[in-house]
Structure 1
Amino acid sequence: MTEHSMSIAPTARAQEYTDRFRRFLDEDVRPLEEELAKHNVGTAGQPKLDSEGRMHPIVWEARREVQRRAGALNLYAPHISAELGGGGFNRVEMHHVEEFVYRHSGLGLGLAALAWTEGPNPASEHMSEAMRERYLTPLIKGQITAAFANTEPNVGTDVLGMETWAKQDGSDWILNGRKAWITNYHFADVYQVVAVTEPGAGTRSLTMFLVDADTPGLERGPDLPTMMDDGLTGELEFRDVRVPAENIVREVGDGFALAMSWINWRRLCRGGMCSGWGQWLITRAISRSQERKSGGRPIGDLQSIQHLIARMALEFYQARSTSLVAQAELDQWGAFEIPLHKEAPRLISLLKIINDEAFYRLADSAIQVHGANGLLRGSPEEKLFRVARNLRIPAGTSEVQLNAIARGLLREAAVS
């Protein structure tokens, strides 16, 4: 690998994106946040919930408006291939973009301007040409939203243990089963559903289907009130749901690889997200240490507070450096190629666990610096501490990441 190919610096197009995004926050997002504040329905980061425990529809619609506007300006999906209508950014570029978005948006509506789990993802790039026009292009433009239906009530990390199944019936497939812990379950227009199509075939046993939200037999269950308290997580039930064969993503039997490309995407997004939010929390902690007095002096004069802030900076720089170097290496192999490079899973797991654990410690220190104010329900520090705790489970628990890292190292040792 050449020094140029391993560069971790922001490219000119990544810089141009962040410049445009800064203007978008000022010109589009800020007025929408001011309008949202008039309705007394909470904020994007701490929304009030409706009578069924779901995100208040006014907050949801404000987020959707941000997505539509970002899509119209080609800001929403820089991670999707350029030939499909996205920006074609690699993972190092996306780190810089995500870092900027999370740092400058904080917990505001600006976060909705960059596609998250309800937007287009690496797995959706494998849709057929006809399905791209129907689903992918509208997703890239922020015109519709999606949800990834993989996890089940009794199946999480063990993807191959899922019980939702699909059986061919003529040119269609019939889906039956339940999915749980699905983000955006209530609002999605289309679901990327992973189901068993050939039991006992190992990694070839699963297939991914695109299922419209209004398909007969598909029922949205109750909200699952998690510690995120955002009213976006719930259950889905499939009862003899008929799906046409053209709604299969890639090929029958590719479901496991496609599911892992989605999961690995979320793992890699930890780098920019945790870095951006980490910088935001450090800036807030420094301001707090200068403003808050104890004994007539700023608490920042106290060595104990200085050590807390220093440790926050330590966590930030270690995780950020790891993220950029790992993603530069992954860019050489193709972070979401099918099949994936044999060394990629180890690096992806390493990046996820380092960020998850570092951000958790950083968020904990942030609360300590803010004292009782940091414990206030809905304060940025309290909300991000809950986010940080949450991150250590979705897209593979910390323990699973350690297993993947160890397997990769032992496999390399066996070959050498």
Structure 2
Amino acid sequence: MFEHFSASENGERVRAEARDFIESYLKPLEAEHQIGFESEPSMDLLRQVWKASREAGLYGAQLPEQLGGRGLSVYDQCLLKEDVTASGAKLSAHVLGELGGPGRVGHLFHIATEGQMKSHLMPVVRAERTVCFALTEPEAGSDASRLTTRAVRDGDHYVLNGLKRFISGAPYADFAILMAVTDPDAGPRGVTAFLVDFDRPGVTVSADYTPISGKNVHADIRLEDVRIPATQVLGEEGQGFRLGMSRITVNRLLHCPTMTGLAMQSLDAAARYATRRQQFGQPIAGFQAIQHMLADMATDLHAARSMMLDVARRIDAGQDTREASAMSKLFCSEKAFNIADRAIQVHGGVGLMQGATVEWVFRMLRMYRIVTGTSEIQRNTIAKGYLKGYTAEGSQA
């Protein structure tokens, strides 16, 4: 059994509603449409899920109440996201709009114009439109100075050319918050954010690859002489990278409950299998080697969840958690993957087969050690923050 952590009264209410929605609506819908780990659900089905979740008060629950959300703290959000992921529902990522919903735009309302709110952001909140964040390129990921997608001013428009690569949520999206260079000599300060609608001439969304997470999750966005009205610049020219990074501390943390939720699935599956699988006249859970693996998995999971929730409390208290959020993302991604790896070991050959929960979770958790900032990038952030407390001579300041 997993250690129980309680949310606020409001948070517990939303958690209960989410569990009921998944059990009474989402899982029966998946069974009806035979949705498995490798399924590619239709857009009509996904829009049905988004709208149903919105009506249930879950899609966008992380937003403030004035924007139609539930006013959850970061701590409450972590527990809610963990619950939804740990449920094992194949479409769980769509319940809270993780792949293209309100979580992608909630931090932009303070800089969006009234027209942008009406045309792009509020339709996302209402589950009428979906969005992705497009920064990564074939030769540029964490290093924004290497971006080559260009945006050139032409009267009341900008003309965009370039290629965005491996963009999560792009297959589901109606538009992108897309980063392009407007001043090639200014480095990150020369990057501007644009609202790019995918139905504009010159925009192509496609994928010539199948990532480890499966089909229809990531795609490329190609821009060929795409004309974007200047009214669709998000914020001011040159502020794009800063806007993209403005929520990085919170976003790093908010990926952690997805990882711990997946790890919970792995540990639960491993424990169930170990008590059922018979070898040499007894369940393999009776063997000390298996018991030690399960004990290590449970210990790592508890440590990861405890770190995540400690950082969440500190964010809610208004503290600077730049390094702590990076630590949590690093620790949760590494430990959750180790849990998934041991879960496959407990299952033996059965765990290597596609269709097995532990095999799918293993692939997903391997991805999280790279996406949204690699483990190495997190270590850079942690080390730089830690070393600020020391002088050049190595003595503590």
TM norm structure 1? 0.88
Residue identity (%)? 32
CA displacement, residues 171-224 of structure 1 (integer Å, 9 cap, x when unaligned): 222211110001232331111101112223244221111011101111223342
Cα gap change, 1:107 to 1:30, in 2 (>3 Å): closer
* Deviation (angstroms), 1:86: 2.3
User: What is the CA–CA distance in structure 2 between the aligned matches of 1:22 and 1:194, rounded to whole Å?
Assistant: 37
User: What is the CA–CA distance in structure 2 between the aligned matches of 1:102 and 1:187, rounded to whole Å?
Assistant: 19
CA displacement, residues 372-413 of structure 1 (integer Å, 9 cap, x when unaligned): 111111211001111111111111111111011101111233
1:11 equivalent to 2:11? Answer no
Number of the residue aligned with 2:62: 79
User: What is the CA–CA distance in structure 2 between the aligned matches of 1:205 and 1:332, rounded to whole Å?
Assistant: 33
1:346 pairs, out of 299, 323, 327, with: 323
Number of the residue aligned with 1:69: 52
1:404 pairs, out of 381, 389, 394, with: 381
1:108 pairs, out of 90, 98, 105, with: 90
1:46 equivalent to 2:42? Answer no
Q: Which runs of 5+ in 2 are unaligned?
A: none
User: What is the CA–CA distance in structure 2 between the aligned matches of 1:171 and 1:226, rounded to whole Å?
Assistant: 38
The answer as to whether partners of 2:150 and 2:162 remain within 8 angstroms in 1 is: yes
Cα gap change, 1:74 to 1:245, in 2 (>3 Å): farther
Matches within 5 A, 1:318-397: 318-333=303-318, 343-397=320-374
Cα gap change, 1:85 to 1:245, in 2 (>3 Å): farther
The answer as to whether partners of 2:262 and 2:365 remain within 8 angstroms in 1 is: no
The answer as to whether partners of 1:270 and 1:355 remain within 8 angstroms in 2 is: no
* Deviation (angstroms), 1:136: 1.6
1:36 equivalent to 2:33? Answer yes
Number of the residue aligned with 1:178: 163
User: What is the CA–CA distance in structure 2 between the aligned matches of 1:274 and 1:391, rounded to whole Å?
Assistant: 8
User: What is the CA–CA distance in structure 2 between the aligned matches of 1:253 and 1:282, rounded to whole Å?
Assistant: 46
SS in 2 for 1:80: coil
* Deviation (angstroms), 1:19: 1.1
1:187 equivalent to 2:172? Answer yes
Which residue identity does 2:268 align to in structure 1?
T
Which residue identity does 2:72 align to in structure 1?
F
User: What is the CA–CA distance in structure 1 between the aligned matches of 2:205 and 2:263, rounded to whole Å?
Assistant: 35
CA displacement, residues 135-155 of structure 1 (integer Å, 9 cap, x when unaligned): 222212222211111100111
User: What is the CA–CA distance in structure 1 between the aligned matches of 2:310 and 2:185, rounded to whole Å?
Assistant: 38
User: What is the CA–CA distance in structure 2 between the aligned matches of 1:25 and 1:221, rounded to whole Å?
Assistant: 31
1:291 equivalent to 2:308? Answer no
User: What is the CA–CA distance in structure 2 between the aligned matches of 1:230 and 1:222, rounded to whole Å?
Assistant: 9
User: What is the CA–CA distance in structure 1 between the aligned matches of 2:152 and 2:317, rounded to whole Å?
Assistant: 39
User: What is the CA–CA distance in structure 2 between the aligned matches of 1:157 and 1:246, rounded to whole Å?
Assistant: 28
* Deviation (angstroms), 1:132: 1.4
Matches within 5 A, 1:277-316: 277-316=262-301
Moved more, 385-394 or 107-116: 107-116
The answer as to whether partners of 2:311 and 2:328 remain within 8 angstroms in 1 is: yes
Which residue identity does 1:256 align to in structure 2?
F
Which residue identity does 1:231 align to in structure 2?
N
* Deviation (angstroms), 1:295: 1.0
User: What is the CA–CA distance in structure 1 between the aligned matches of 2:147 and 2:62, rounded to whole Å?
Assistant: 29
The answer as to whether partners of 1:322 and 1:351 remain within 8 angstroms in 2 is: yes
TM norm structure 2? 0.92
Number of the residue aligned with 1:20: 17
Matches within 5 A, 1:130-169: 130-169=115-154
Number of the residue aligned with 2:206: 221
* Deviation (angstroms), 1:124: 3.7
User: What is the CA–CA distance in structure 2 between the aligned matches of 1:9 and 1:34, rounded to whole Å?
Assistant: 31
Q: Which runs of 5+ in 1 are unaligned?
A: 1-7, 48-55, 335-342
Cα gap change, 1:246 to 1:265, in 2 (>3 Å): farther
Which residue identity does 1:46 align to in structure 2?
E
Cα gap change, 1:205 to 1:82, in 2 (>3 Å): farther
User: What is the CA–CA distance in structure 2 between the aligned matches of 1:71 and 1:413, rounded to whole Å?
Assistant: 49
Count of residue pairs brought into register by the alignment: 386
SS in 2 for 1:83: helix
* Deviation (angstroms), 1:133: 1.9
* CA root-mean-square deviation: 1.9
1:93 pairs, out of 62, 73, 76, with: 76
User: What is the CA–CA distance in structure 2 between the aligned matches of 1:262 and 1:230, rounded to whole Å?
Assistant: 28
SS in 2 for 1:412: coil
